[in-house]
Amino acid sequence: MALKPVTFTLNGNAKAAFTEDGQNLLDFLRRSVGDLSPKYGCGQGGCGACTVLMDGAPVLACLTLAEAAQGARIETAAGLAGAALHPLQEAFMERFAAQCGYCTPGMLMAARALLDRNPRPSRDEVIEAISGNICRCTGYEPIIAAILDVAEGRVRA
């Protein structure tokens, strides 16, 4: 199997790593690059736990070929916090929007993508944005409330 180099940016930092034919982006990020924040849930695009942003758009890393990251801007939950937590992270904490936490990185990235393209979404738009992400613990309401808190300026930026 041929190894192919992939150069890209991960959360703003230039990265290069080798990928094998057919390797998916989730496996590539976790094993080859070492970013464990995207989670493996179902491996078939049904749960959203692996959601990352590719050039600003949310993608399911488990269904995306690693080669597609060539030259791309990849953002994961590990890159959300700077010196302080990202407002979405603050809001998720304030609203108790995580229990086991497995869906949380995917939820955060789906929410981040929404707010980047639509800073003042309606409740229905928030629901639409996270409808590809499954959560077992929270009953979704705290997650919706957290995203709306950020959208409506109730969390310090």
The residues of the shown chain that bind other proteins, judged by CB under 8 A, are 42, 44, 46-47, 96, 98-101, 126-128, 130-131, 134, 136-144
Of residues 79 and 121, the one with the C-beta less far from other proteins: 121
Whose Cβ is closer to other proteins: residue 72's or residue 97's?
Answer: 97
Q: Minimal CA–CA distance to 88: which of 131, 11, 151? A: 151
Closest to 13 measured CA to CA, from 28, 32, 33, 38? 33
Report the alpha-carbon distance of residue 44 to residue 157 in Å, rounded: 35
User: Phi/psi zone of residue 117: left (φ > 0), alpha (ψ -120 to 50 degrees), beta?
Assistant: alpha
The tokens describing 105, both together, are: 């990185």
- CB 121, min distance to other proteins, A: 13
Q: Which is nearer to other proteins, 60 or 74 (CB)?
A: 60
Q: Which amino acid, 76?
A: T
Least distance to other proteins, CB of residue 51, Å? 14
Contact 150, 91 (CB under 8 A): yes
Nearest distance in Å: CB 112, other proteins: 16
Residue with token string 């995917």:
106
Residue among 98 and 113 whose Cβ is closer to other proteins:
98
As measured in angstroms, the least distance from the Cβ of 46 to other proteins is 3
